[in-house]
Amino acid sequence: MATNLPNLLTYFRIALVPAVVMCFYIPGDAGHWAALTLFVIAGLTDFFDGYLARAWEQQSNLGRMLDPIADKLLVAVVLIALTWVDVIAGFSLWAAIIILCREILVSGLREFLAELRVSLPVTQLAKWKTAIQMVALGFLLAGPAADKIVPGTTEAGITLLWAAAILTLYTGIDYFRAGVRHIDDERPERNPPAPATAAAAEREGRM
């Protein structure tokens, strides 16, 4: 199962992560277009690996583990790269920070709940968040190059990034509330304090 097509697509998506970053070393607009192209390809593999795994009944534990890791790697690395080249800068850095922090916190929550054998289903709002986030990153990757063709592309990307950040914050809180209901901290049972006197012990026994 490790080498079925859905898993191979996931491996390919992970391999595309450093490739996207390498595009930023290409001078001029060509680097932005190359990064966008690889990002779109990565997004398509995200769709097809899940679709084919379900259609061909090739779902596996390895795929379930690697698929969200590949998604988070792609988003995190692209956000960091966009801040590196100052496409995301100034106050908009907070949108990137919110998204990154939420991904880390929710991943940690899922890992903790997995030990309790509790799943944390993806909500419909979270799916919309992911869609808006990916579109925003696509706009920002094209960024300065696309602005020469369609002015305002970068501004539109920043606006969508903030929309994704707001949904990210909301869904993160929603997930945390859902997870907290399943958290039962194991505390050692506390023995009642020993009575200070024999009389007190006698009263304790009658109670």
Domains of the chain: 5-182 (1.20.120.1760)
**Inter-residue contact 161 to 89 (CB < 8 Å):** no
What would the mean pLDDT of 115-137 be, rounded to a whole number? 81
pLDDT greater than 80 at residue 194:
no
What would the mean pLDDT of 178-205 be, rounded to a whole number? 50
pLDDT greater than 70 at residue 199:
no
pLDDT greater than 60 at residue 30:
yes
Average pLDDT in the chain: 81
pLDDT greater than 60 at residue 46:
yes
Reported as a pLDDT band with limits 50, 70 and 90, residue 172 is confident
pLDDT, position 164:
94
Reported as a pLDDT band with limits 50, 70 and 90, residue 1 is low
- What contacts 76, CB < 8 A, 6 or more positions away? 100, 103
pLDDT, position 189:
44
CB atoms within 10 A of CB 13: 24
Q: Which alpha helices (H) appear in the chain, and where do they start and end?
A: 5-23, 29-55, 61-84, 93-115, 124-147, 153-180, 198-206
Spatial distance between the Cα atoms of 52 and 30, rounded to a whole number of angstroms: 32
- CA count, 13 A, side-chain hemisphere, 31: 12
Nearest to 67 by CA among 110, 7, 15: 7
Supply the pTM of this predicted model: 0.79
Nearest to 146 by CA among 134, 154, 136, 156: 154
pLDDT, position 120:
64
Largest CA distance in the chain: 90
The 8-class DSSP code of residue 85 comes to T
pLDDT greater than 60 at residue 203:
no
Reported as a pLDDT band with limits 50, 70 and 90, residue 121 is low
Reported as a pLDDT band with limits 50, 70 and 90, residue 152 is very high
